[in-house]
Structure 1
Amino acid sequence: MTSYRWLPALALTFPCAVWAQSSVTLYGIIDAALTYQTHANSAGNSVVGLQQGNEGFISGSRFGLRGSEDLGGGAKAGFTLENGFLANSGRLDQQGQLFGRQAFVKIGNQYGDLALGRQYTTANTMLYYVDPLGIGAAPSNSWMVFLTGQRYDNSVSYTGNFGPVTAMAQYALGGTPGSTLSMSSTSLGLKYSSNAITLIGDAQTTHDSASRAARIYIAGVKASVGPAKLFANYIYSRRDAGFDSSQGGTDTASITSMTTAATPLNSAAIGSVFSSTRRDDFFTVGASYLATPALTLTASAMLDRTRADGFNGTRATTYGVADYAFSKRTDVYVALAYDWVHGDWSGLFGNSTTSYTGGSDKPLNGRNNQTTAMLGLRHAF
């Protein structure tokens, strides 16, 4: 008869093998779209290709690993490693970082989670809940992140859920010898969700390498009315004179200026550093409607006004999406977007200016509007 008296000793040696429950999940999205776009260069030519600014219209392509472990007593640990890639070329997205979308480890219990690593900003997280596309991917529908930032390295965050309220506090360490402010970010986001209403608020301060500050405040709402959802949000942004987000650490290029991402026909994005204080007021309204169990219609309008000494410019976008789901994992969509600029942002689209400085009276050499049409296929796994 076989004896199993060695099992208790084995359990003491490897306790996690007995009581810890753990899992690792592979997940991802691939979003690719045939695209027609006008005014793709300063000559005003159109272009046909894949993607807009290397992205599908709705989602950034990605794959990731997400793990969790039950530590007992209500405690848990976990991690997320999420890669972003360009479906049209297979190259890495997010400045070429392997896990450029997210890379963090966390631990928590019923009082909340503490996470350390590369994470979304609280502003990006809160806007997700009150944006018609959950913040899309193409430049036409996601350029609000040029004000708020999307992700920061060296971040420490706390997230707690208290009934209908979620609180998220974050501090991104600058890692600069001799200065705790340089290249750091501090923020607090709050979300209230109950029945058909979601309300959010956020405050965030980010410093560049010279400790100059960019401050943003956000408020937004989502309301469900039968098969329809209504969205509205407002971003107030104020930057110190000379604030330079390109000197703010990895991925702070996301908070540079009102610009369209670089493409093969647009030699560079615009690094807009203003010699005076700069203020932006950004408004978004939108709606989605579940026309059938498989068909969702979405429309939105966004407008930003930039003001500084000797500078007054406006950029706006309207877009519409018809998204048909073949299944829970696969859908096809048609998207149409129209972008235009006025005032001192004139000439933004398709320009070849690589070092434009706001308020310098150096005009952009592109066009004042751009139309984009996309036929996309998206698959989640």
Structure 2
Amino acid sequence: MRNKNTNNTETIIVLKLNRINRTHCSQALVALALLYAAQSHAQSNVSLYGVLDAGLLYASHYPNAHGANAGPLYAFNDSGVSASSFGMQGIEDLGGGMKLKFKLESGFSTGTGALANSNKNEFGRQAYVALENGYGTVAAGLQYSPFLLSVISTDPRGNSYFFGSSETLYVDNVAVTGMFNSNAITYTSPKVGGFSGSAMMALGGEAGDFAAGRQYAVRLSYDAAFVHLDAAMYNGDSGGTAASTPVPSTVAFAGRTLGAKFYLGSLALGVAYSLYKVAGGFSSQVYGTGLSYDVNSFWNLNAGTWYTRNGNNSADHSILAAVGTSYSLSKRTALYAQVGFVNNHGKMTTGFIAGPALPHEVAGSTTAVNIGIRHRF
């Protein structure tokens, strides 16, 4: 029951406010707004970030629309090392050890300014909200799958977007499935004794068919002073609402990966095995290894090689190799150069890049060179 004195108190407050002139009211409101803004700023943080990556490309062969050799290619190349992208992320302290986080991330082409590297959607790379506390993080929305994160975590060349990396072969096999997971819910555990795990379920959203477009993945990783170990699996069904995106992100496939990365001073060595068993297609078994060496704080050298074979037909196989170097002009800006070589046999069409420039290559051998500049903000 309301206190009998409440109405009297409210009346007194109203009477006192009526006696304050408009100038004083304005000053009071401004002061309150500034105080609220200061408190909000102390409790939350929103930041912008992104990457601009552009360069030049030469390839000794380039496939035409029918997959045949169309001759050499000389072109401007977007996203040589990292996908050109921009985004915003934020965090709010909810108290009691609970935090809210969000991320919105899009991609674009430095060559044209058009949407790219994000499935042609405004925020096609990531768009999620998450709650985090001491027991882990639960996130909902468009996210990278734990399987993809496991694959790239042991990549010897730092997941180079172009000229040979684990990501190149990932996209070559299953496009953006698992890379941009729509309708996804994930849980990531805190790190305990060096171990951490994560799980994902992406809902297909098709009425009357729960399995359509459903995707799920689990991951387990271990970190110590000199080694990182990672393993994951992915299973997905075709269909669902995500199948209507510009590039369908529900290719039906079963994925498995196991890898390790060893750190010896300035030298990092990576080795990994991945399986992409695509429904109605190849069962690609990928064996990769490579290294990265920091000559000094500015200069890096790296190299990697990947052998892929079709488990359904051993005549389909390829070898992909790449070497690269980067020189940092500052903490955010670097120049880079890369040379790649791929040799395809049978029906294998392994390409150089996780993007549209050289999505698949022709049979036989192809050599390519890429130089460019990357800036992170």
TM norm structure 1:
0.78
1:269-288 paired onto structure 2 within 5 Å: 274=281, 278-288=282-292
Partner residue of 2:61 out of 33, 39, 57:
39
Shift of 1:279: 1.9
1:298-349 deviation per Cα after TM superposition (whole angstroms, max 9, x unaligned)? 00001111133x6740122100011101111000011000011012327989
Q: Which range moved further: 366-375 or 113-122?
A: 366-375
- Structure 1 counterpart of 2:264: 225
- Structure 1 counterpart of 2:181: 152
Partner residue of 2:82 out of 51, 59, 64:
59
Shift of 1:14: 6.8
**How many positions carry a matched residue from both structures?**
322
Partner residue of 2:210 out of 177, 180, 204:
180
1:212-265 deviation per Cα after TM superposition (whole angstroms, max 9, x unaligned)? 95211110000001210000111123244x3xxxxxxxxxxxxxxxxxxxxxxx
- Whether 1:319 and 2:322 are equivalent positions in the alignment is yes
1:179-216 deviation per Cα after TM superposition (whole angstroms, max 9, x unaligned)? 11111101101110010100000011011129995211
Displaced runs of 4+ in structure 1, greater than 6 A? 13-16, 346-349
- Structure 1 counterpart of 2:6: none
Shift of 1:139: 6.1
From the CA coordinates, give the structure whose radius of gyration is larger.
2
- Structure 1 counterpart of 2:273: 234
Amino acid at match of 1:103: A
Q: Which range moved further: 208-217 or 33-42?
A: 208-217
Residues 15, 109 of structure 1: alpha-carbon distance in 2 compared, 3 angstrom cutoff: farther
Higher helix fraction (1 or 2): 2
Shift of 1:284: 1.0
Partners of 2:366 and 2:276 in 1: CA distance: 25
Question: Does the CA-based 8 Å contact 2:197-2:220 persist in structure 1?
Answer: yes
Question: Does the CA-based 8 Å contact 2:269-2:292 persist in structure 1?
Answer: yes
Partners of 1:73 and 1:49 in 2: CA distance: 54
RMSD: 2.9
Partners of 2:219 and 2:349 in 1: CA distance: 34
- Structure 2 counterpart of 1:305: 309
- Structure 2 counterpart of 1:343: 346
Residues 156, 372 of structure 1: alpha-carbon distance in 2 compared, 3 angstrom cutoff: same
Partners of 1:176 and 1:140 in 2: CA distance: 36
Shift of 1:95: 2.6
Residues 116, 16 of structure 1: alpha-carbon distance in 2 compared, 3 angstrom cutoff: farther
- Whether 1:22 and 2:48 are equivalent positions in the alignment is no
Partners of 2:299 and 2:170 in 1: CA distance: 28
Amino acid at match of 1:89: T
Residues 139, 118 of structure 1: alpha-carbon distance in 2 compared, 3 angstrom cutoff: farther
- Whether 1:92 and 2:115 are equivalent positions in the alignment is yes
Q: Which range moved further: 81-90 or 124-133?
A: 124-133
Shift of 1:56: 2.5
- Structure 1 counterpart of 2:168: 143
Partners of 2:110 and 2:298 in 1: CA distance: 25
Partner residue of 1:209 out of 216, 223, 239:
239
Partners of 1:85 and 1:171 in 2: CA distance: 28
Q: Name structure 2 gaps, 5 residues minimum.
A: 1-23, 241-249, 353-359
- Structure 1 counterpart of 2:93: 70
Partners of 2:120 and 2:205 in 1: CA distance: 21
User: Residue 81 of structure 1: SS of its match in structure 2?
Assistant: strand
Give aligned-pair identity as a percent.
28
Amino acid at match of 1:48: Y
Shift of 1:121: 1.3
Question: Does the CA-based 8 Å contact 2:84-2:109 persist in structure 1?
Answer: yes
Question: Does the CA-based 8 Å contact 2:62-2:361 persist in structure 1?
Answer: no
- Structure 2 counterpart of 1:48: 74
Residues 219, 16 of structure 1: alpha-carbon distance in 2 compared, 3 angstrom cutoff: farther
- Whether 1:334 and 2:337 are equivalent positions in the alignment is yes
Amino acid at match of 2:76: L
User: Residue 206 of structure 2: SS of its match in structure 1?
Assistant: coil
Partner residue of 2:368 out of 344, 353, 372:
372
Q: Name structure 1 gaps, 5 residues minimum.
A: 243-273, 350-363
Residues 91, 219 of structure 1: alpha-carbon distance in 2 compared, 3 angstrom cutoff: same
Shift of 1:165: 1.5
Shift of 1:43: 4.3
Amino acid at match of 2:259: G
- Structure 2 counterpart of 1:191: 221
